Chains A and B, each alone.
Chain A
């Protein structure tokens, strides 16, 4: 079942610009994770933010989490052509070893 909904479904920006993707979810969570999928490849874990955290950074990535609104955003700064990929959010819960996945945002970086 899918709990996360990414917004927008697709995003096309110029290289060097910032890209922002959003994720909304429905139930309480233990953590929220973002993954990247390059065309024809498996998903790669980018960053995990716990429910008691509000913001987290990793290199050019910045993730925020608002549990009151049940939403998260992923910001990629100074985008590069290599950032072209689909980005998925997934939520994890204490009581369940499954991750609940969103439908993904397709990001295209134009050179």
Chain B
């Protein structure tokens, strides 16, 4: 398996623009997680899905952030409008069904909002 795939790897945009990050989880994994990592706040869980259904989005910082998982092999994280403080590395991870199990991370998307 190719592992978790994220695109783009790098994104530079201007404040106010819409940003869409994409993720393809490992085939057969039932859980998908979106994280944000910054130097100041470390690794933060934004939202996670089970069988394409959002389970907990309490980590989504604001209404400007939204996430979807239209099918088992694809998820998006959208920021609209983007702000400089959204600059971070965004990771997608997937895991099998067992609670609290091992998570497999993608390479991340480094987002810079100017």
Q: Hey, which bits of chain A sit against chain B, CB under 8 A? A: 2, 29-31, 33, 35, 40-45, 48, 88, 90-99, 101, 103-104
Best-surrounded residue of B4, B31, B100, B106 (most CB of chain A within 10 A): B100
Which chain B residues in 40-58 approach chain A with CB under 8 Å? 42-43, 45, 48, 50, 55-56
Q: Complex Cα distance A28/B48, Å?
A: 22
Interface band, chain B: 20 to 34
Q: Is the CB of A98 within 8 A of B106?
A: no
Q: Is the CB of B43 within 8 A of A101?
A: yes
Interface of A is mostly: strand
Residue from B55, B95, B106 within 8 A of A42 (CB atoms): B106
Q: Complex Cα distance A35/B107, Å?
A: 14
Residue from B42, B100, B101, B108 within 8 A of A101 (CB atoms): B42
Q: Complex Cα distance A95/B56, Å?
A: 13
In the complex formed, the residue of B with least CB distance to A48 is B102
Residue from B4, B31, B42 within 8 A of A104 (CB atoms): B42
Q: Per-residue 0/1 for B86-109: is the Cβ within 8 Å of any A Cβ (1 yes, 0 no)?
A: 000001010100011111111110
Listed from nearest, the 9 A-B pairs whose CB atoms lie closest are: A92-B100, A42-B105, A43-B105, A45-B102, A103-B42, A101-B43, A42-B107, A30-B100, A94-B99
B26 to chain A, nearest CB (A): 12
| Cβ contacts under 8 Å, B100 to chain A | 29-31, 91-94, 96-99
Best-surrounded residue of B4, B31, B105 (most CB of chain A within 10 A): B105
